[in-house]
Amino acid sequence: MPSITSAGIGSGLDIESLIGKLVAVERTPINQLKTHTDGLKTQLSAYGKIQSALAAMRDAAGKLTKPDTWAASMGNSSDATAVSVSPSASAPTGNVAVMVNRLASAQSVSSKVIPVGQAVGQGTMTIELGKWTEAPPPADPNDPVPPPTFDPKAGGSPININLPAGPYQLAQVRDEINKSNAGVVASIVTDSSGPRLVIRSSETGATNGFRIKVANSDGQPDGEGLSALSYDPGTSLTPMTRNQAAGNASVLLNGLSVDSESNTLKDSIEGMTINLLKASTAEVNLTIGPDKDSIKKAINDFATAYNAVATLMGDQTKYDAATKKGAALQGDSSVVGLQFEMRGLVGGTSSVGGKYSRFAEIGLNPSTGGVFKTDTGKLDAALGDLASLKTLFMGTDSNNPSNVGLAKQLQSFADKALGFDGRVTNRQSGLQKAIDNDAKSTERLETKVSLTEKRLRARYTALDTQMSQLTGLSNYVTQQLKAMGN
């Protein structure tokens, strides 16, 4: 905010206007520096965009130099409703025949109907995972069938669920079971008869069956109260009903019988995850082959990233004849050099071997402006020879390690340009240094202008005072002469 001053009152001169114009002249170099700095900042911003685009192109080219990109596999199933497959890069190509005789299952038991609001009781429930083995039938059909035997799961231990205070409602018992991490999941299922507690193994497989022992608070294992939720066929009292037994999946893989606790086979065939969805009445054929779609996408992504760099460099270095103005980096030797080198790489040849030696042979045609124009038909045909295509992008000459595929060449080019001592990095550092120097020069000039304004104001204030005194003296003399004349 300008200060309030009375300069000019004594002399009648517009001193503030005079000082303002003189200071404006002194600020001319500052304004010129600002224009220069703005230009530098525009160039630095343009280099930032080029840096980002080059990094994206480098990453896209780098993906085509990774073996995993070319080893990607895809799997098809003749009946995806019964069996699906997810191959990894290590999966062998070919066919696998799968027959699902039985899916893996989880044990499930249910209680009798327990009306809403009815107390369940209190005590302790003990849940233990393990395998149930049915006893063989007796030799004499008239003899009683022996109860099944229970083998606790290796590494497991019984889980006690204490329900000391009550009486507990069915929903509260369900919640306590689910909080116990006992390897089972409890839920309440309601039908026309009323609500029941259903307990199911968290995981499938024969060893994930379970038994439930209950110590009722009244000490009576009578099937009432909390003991109504016990399940142990090895004893005489089993109030809960088994709806489904825990069992393993039974599968034929290429004719070989395979038993699995899970419906997801991860280790049966190396590199393949086979998902069993339902039992099948006929063999399901799984076909494993190279994932040409993902490879094609990687190539198209590379072409798009390269075109973005080429287009950006072209826009930043062009000259508009109509407006007679150049873009931010028009004539910039560093960018022009990068453009020239990039075009040389994409238009050049590779001598590392294989069927292809140039991008144009696989449908990536360098066109006007240095960008790729993709011929989809040619690219699809080239995908029929993945070995040669892979060599074009990431091959290495065994006799000359520096002779590499075109994607490796472009990746190396971008790494050098963006590296610690690269052309892009050096140019950015130079521009930033020039901007910092302009800021320092501006600060010095602002100090100079401030001192100049202070000096001018002191001089004109003194002049104003002097002229005021002279004016007063002149008026006094005039008055005296007039008085003498009278």
Query: Which domains does the chain possess?
Result: 1-72+291-486 (1.20.1330), 73-103+249-290 (no CATH), 108-244 (no CATH)
d(Cα 336, Cα 314) in Å, to the nearest integer?
A: 9
Residues of the chain with pLDDT under 50: 1-4, 9-10
Contact 317, 331 (CB under 8 A): yes
Nearest CA among 254, 249, 248 for reference residue 283: 254
Report cis status (omega within 30 of 0) of the bond before 2.
no
Spacing of C-alpha 131 from chain mean position: 43
Contact 86, 272 (CB under 8 A): yes
What would the pLDDT profile of 226-281 be if each residue is shown by its tens digit? 889 999 998 777 899 999 999 999 999 999 999 999 999 998 998 899 999 999 99
Which string of b and e fits 56-88 if b means at least 16 CB within 10 Å? bbbebbbbbbeeebbbbbbbebbbeebbbbebe
pLDDT value at residue 1 = 41
pLDDT value at residue 51 = 96
Which token pair is 379? 């690219």
DSSP 8-state class, residue 147: P
Q: Is 181 exposed, middle or buried (0-12, 13-18, 19+ CB in 10 A)?
A: exposed
Contact 406, 346 (CB under 8 A): yes
End-to-end CA distance of the chain: 53
Looking at 224-291, list the stretches that DSSP marks H as alpha helix, in order from N- to C-terminal side: none
Amino acid at 313: M
pLDDT value at residue 6 = 52
Strand blocks (E) in 111-229: 121-133, 149-152, 159-168, 184-191, 194-201, 209-216
Residue 18's CB is within 10 A of a number of other CB atoms, namely 14
pLDDT value at residue 11 = 54
d(Cα 338, Cα 424) in Å, to the nearest integer?
A: 9
pLDDT value at residue 3 = 46
d(Cα 374, Cα 362) in Å, to the nearest integer?
A: 9
For 382, residues 6+ apart whose C-beta sits below 8 A from its C-beta are: 356, 361, 362, 363, 388, 389
d(Cα 401, Cα 387) in Å, to the nearest integer?
A: 19
Report the SS3 class of residue 82.
coil
DSSP 8-state class, residue 106: -
pLDDT value at residue 91 = 84
For 126, residues 6+ apart whose C-beta sits below 8 A from its C-beta are: 158, 159, 160, 161, 212, 213, 214, 215
For 353: left if phi > 0, alpha if psi spans -120 to 50, otherwise beta; the answer is: left
d(Cα 164, Cα 225) in Å, to the nearest integer?
A: 13
Please provide residue 169's backbone torsions phi and psi, each rounded to the nearest 5 degrees.
-85, 165
Report the SS3 class of residue 1.
coil
Residue 379's CB is within 10 A of a number of other CB atoms, namely 17
d(Cα 127, Cα 208) in Å, to the nearest integer?
A: 12
Nearest CA among 465, 418, 479 for reference residue 9: 465
